[in-house]
Structure 1
Amino acid sequence: MAKSRPASIQHDRNTYGEKSRSEGLSYLVCFLLVLCVTLSSLVPLAFYKIYHLERMMVSKTELQTILEQHEKTDNIEQEDTNISLMEVNIKSHRVARANQRCTCPPGPKGDPGPRGERGRKGPDGRKGKEGDMGGKGERGTDGLKGELGDKGQMGLPGPRGISGPMGPKGEIGGRGYDGINGTKGSEGLKGDMGATGTPGSPGEAGSDGQTGPPGPRGPRGHQGLKGEAGVSPPLPSLEQIESIIIARLPSNLTHIGTSMMDVIHLVGVPENEASGLSRLDVHGTFKSWEVSVLSVGFQLLEDGNVTVATDGKYFIYTNVLFYDTSSYYGASTNINGQTFTQCVGSRSSVHARFGPCSSSGVANLKAGDKVGIVGSFPLRTVDMRPEATYFGIIKLQ
């Protein structure tokens, strides 16, 4: 029994300690709850007090404003009272003077009194009726032009407008180059012969008319049988050429003979042997030449020009026969590319085809100078037979 008592005492102590701790926690929780309730009740009260103070401040401000208005009203009423007393005194003074009978003459007019204080402003009057609307005012001056804005995006293309009136007719352009002759069409059928008319009485014989232009070249016939081999015709003799040259020389040089001259005589070479025709190129240069008579001092080049070997005075002559339907034709004799002589002609009829063109002249040439013929109009047809187109140079001694 003596050993078991201390154990029970220790157990009681532990139990009491735990109970004490649990009671302490309970008190702490209760205290916290009471504190929260108290704070929750004090917060609305504090907000109410703040709101009440603000209202009191506003009320105090309003009260001060009302007192100031009352003071102003009292001052105005006091001024009105003073004005009324002054008016009463003035009226009583006038009545007393009117009742008093004084035989004395009136005294001099007194000085005007000082100007009284300005009276208070009266109440605003009633708003008047609305007046009639005024007339439209003049247009004001235009304002300054604003800056150019950014370029907007291109819109969709609009519908095509109505075509405008036709403009005035332009000037007629220059005549173009004649085209290449086309092929001749097939011959039409021969028409029926008409009825024979009654013969008329013979008229007087008229005078011979002028010879008309040569007719157009007929169609090419069928090729004939091959003939026997012949002998080619001889070239013109020196005497024949001399007669041609002498006929073309100026009158003061006709006494000179070919034996005293250096001569070159060129004749044309046709592209078409049958027709004897050739067609010029786009530059109009005459290149197809054959030397008929030649002495020393001249040289025929591949481009159709002739060069002279020595300086001196030379007689130059040309003859060209054009064959086409163009209105104009012409050729020029050039020395080193510069025009020396020129011939130009026109056809009088649309049916005319031949166009002769000749020129001649005397020029001072130096060794190495080039002489040639160029057509004035390119792509023309020329009769290049030797008797139709030729070219020559003679050195005069």
Structure 2
Amino acid sequence: MTSQPLATLTTMRVGGPAEEILAAHTRHELQEQAIQLWERGDDWLLLGGGSNTVVADEGYPGPVLLVRTGGVALVEDPELAPGTVRIRVEAGHDWDALVAECVERGWAGIEALSGIPGLAGAAPVQNIGAYGQELSGVLHSIEFLAASTYDVLRMPAADLALSYRDSVIKQGLEGVVLSIDLVLTDAGVAAGEDGPEPLSEPIRYSQLAGALGVELGARVPLRTVRDTVLRLRASKGMVLDETDHDSWSAGSFFTNPIVTERFARGLPENAPRFPVAEAGPTAAVTTFEELAAGQPLRIPATPPERRVKLSAAWLIEQSGVPRGYRLPGSGASVSTKHTLAITNRGNASASDIGELARFIVQRVQQEFGLVLVPEPNLYGIEI
């Protein structure tokens, strides 16, 4: 049991002390300590890499449990499609180290998620995504310790309601992710030991395709994709770097708003818009056989209005908050590389971070009539 400022355990590098800090280095320790904390009845915080967490200057008024497990193992699965592998990753395993290992072993599917800070167990909570790939595209299942029963459950990805930066866990399903299972393409099998380098999944993000000099849908050597993504992320301050204050952040501080097409039509024509996949249509016709069987006439429902995703970075900049913007006397600023990150310039307090975030939300609301939603988990900070 130790106590230290949470500023030393989070990538934003702000936050006061916790009541106590515990660390779990094995899956058994993680289960046992989580159950003990639940039985105590106190509020407590599960903390992984600290890349998506901002804690108030007053600290956290309860225990903090650090996830420090690790390991990657192949899982035998007779139902796997040919040319794929299933791997089990402990919750405390460093995410980017996992991506690097998969690239080296010729396993494709998460190469565009290179450089994302944090641990594997947090990945399904946020449904992490970048450069055209999302965890939901490869997640098979998770091993989940349920707070309600203390049972360890194998939860299929389909039961997690994964969507843009969201899941049932983020929405309040209480428990602890112990491990995650991924199904990846074994690109090394297709290439062969003496053949060409294993290729990535098809490139689906225009900025990445441009940086690679290929068309959308092309496949590129895995190492090339990883190196290019790391370079792109570093150019935005999104790769952790002790010497770069733009990386002293929680990554993207706001999610990209999803709005109706009708609302989006009221924005300037040059506002970036990205289509959002909708659920497939339901049957709108009742067959004669169904009527004969006594089923009621099916009345076609009014289809939901199409939705689009907006660029939070564009909205922030167009509301008059440029890169590098800093409130007078504050130790926090908008990143000098892009407007979606709030950064610690070396002496910021959590209050500075919260004040700047509130200012940005107010400016965007005043200019465009919508409210930006913070992406990181905030404790003791009101936006």
TM range (shorter): under 0.3
> Structure 2 length as normaliser, TM-score?
0.18
Q: Computing the radius of gyration over CA atoms, which structure comes out larger, 1 or 2?
A: 1
